[in-house]
Structure 1
Amino acid sequence: MAQTPFAPGLHLLLDLYGATHLDAVAELECVLRRAAERAGATVIASHFKHFGGGGGVTGLVLLAESHISIHTWPEIGFAAVDIFMCGAARPDLAWQEIEAALKPTRTHLSRIERGTDHLNQASHPAL
């Protein structure tokens, strides 16, 4: 019987252009926590930092299934979001929640299946 390919995790990289609320620490934390919950992930902790003077926000929601992070540049309406989840969590649902809340005018999404090289153990005999 052939083995079904298994990717340990899915990594979504979002570039959000023309997004809103990029200077609102409490709101961004709520958005990312809500996104994690919608994806079926378990929130362990979060930490957010506002840089003041229009300098933006950086934040991390630590998950049992990995993490969601955000870095914002309100002066240019840009946010970089990183969603990495494994197990039964559904990162696409987190992405949809974040996009709906921050209302970007344009989104660029990159999807990366992490850990798929273990399927080709000939190139990595130590695995």
Structure 2
Amino acid sequence: MDGIHLIADLYDCQCPLPLIETLTTLEPCMVTAAKDADMQVVGVRFHQFQPVGVTGVVLLAESHVAVHTWPERAYVTLDVYVCNHTGDNQSKAECLFEALIQLFNPKHAERVQVKRGSRFV
């Protein structure tokens, strides 16, 4: 299925520390951002590392959003993948991706965009 995969490495994040330190702060923000981008959330799985740091995924009917945090380095990796099975979701993916990058407020962001499933177009 064709789609778009947006990937970012976010360096020197200036967001409030609890956002990248604790699951209880990060998880609801990720779910809300997905819903605000008009994505259909079908599952959520996050893990809290000790003493700090979180890894998590928001499963979407359209695919997924994944996040991994390293608070001790103010570093976050972000992954937004959506397929276009029932319609073109690229603008929704881009909106979600940009909203999450703004949420983490990095001083530097490296972004990659990958087209997926181009043989199915």
Q: Provide TM-score, normalisation by structure 2.
A: 0.84
Aligned equivalent of 2:6: 12
Aligned equivalent of 2:83: 86
Residues 31-40 or 102-111, more deviating: 31-40
Of Structure 1 and Structure 2, the greater strand share is in 2
Matched, 1:58 2:55: yes
> SS in structure 2 opposite 1:22?
helix
> SS in structure 2 opposite 1:105?
strand
Partner AA of 2:6 in structure 1: L
Q: CA RMSD in A?
A: 1.6
> Following the alignment from structure 1 to structure 2, what is the Cα–Cα distance between the partners of residues 85 and 61?
12
1:12-51 pair list within 5 angstroms:
12-19=6-13, 20=15, 21-51=19-49
Higher relative contact order (CA 8 A, sep 6+): 2
Structure 1 residue 34: Cα displacement: 2.1
Amino-acid identity (%):
31
Q: Which of 100, 108, 111 is residue 110 of structure 2 equivalent to?
A: 108
Matched, 1:75 2:72: yes
Aligned equivalent of 1:125: none
Measured against aligned partners, the alpha-carbon deviations of 1:6-29 in whole angstroms (never above 9, x if no partner) come to x71100001111123211212211
Q: Which segments of 5 or more consecutive residues in structure 2 lack a partner in the other structure?
A: none
> SS in structure 2 opposite 1:101?
helix
Larger Rg: 1
Of Structure 1 and Structure 2, the greater helix share is in 2
Structure 1 residue 118: Cα displacement: 4.1
Q: Provide TM-score, normalisation by structure 1.
A: 0.80
> Following the alignment from structure 2 to structure 1, what is the Cα–Cα distance between the partners of residues 76 and 108?
11
